[in-house]
Amino acid sequence: MPKFGPAPDALVRRFNDAIAPLDSVQSRKMFGYPAAFRNGNMFAGLFQDSMILRLGEADRLALSKRGRPFEPMPGRPMREYVVVPAKVVGDPAELQTLIEKSAAFAASLKPKPKKT
């Protein structure tokens, strides 16, 4: 497994600001980076210098026209996840809309049981 550097501080702040107003969100690490979960389902996170979102098909297809599928390892895409284009990360209103759609998508999924 390759070693990855930390996410840029500005990206971590932007991510934390975007998930802060959401209800019923749990924050923890995934791949060693900040991630947001609802009902045990990850819906947003950081990976290296990118933000990723889990979206329903229509929103994912719309965003993938400007972004790309998320592949933590080349050739191994994570289904339903898209890398958020830098232009969207830089637009707080558009990013907030997408984060809210991502959180709503996670809420529509079957809750994952808590690990003991």
Q: Is the Cβ–Cβ distance between 82 and 90 less than 8 Å?
A: no
- pLDDT, one tens digit per residue, over 37-50 is 999 999 999 999 99
- The CATH superfamily holding the domain 9-108 is YgaC/TfoX-N like chaperone (3.30.1460.30)
Q: What is the maximum alpha-carbon separation in the chain? A: 40
Instruction: Note the pLDDT tens digit of each residue in 30-79.
Output: 988 999 999 999 999 999 999 999 999 999 988 877 778 787 777 787 88
pTM above 0.75, yes or no: yes
Domain ranges of the chain: 9-108
What is the side-by-side strand order in the sheet with 81-83? 26-30, 33-38, 41-47, 50-54, 81-83, 68-69
- 24/37 Cα distance (integer angstroms): 8
Residue 42's region, left for phi above 0, alpha for psi from -120 to 50, else beta, is beta
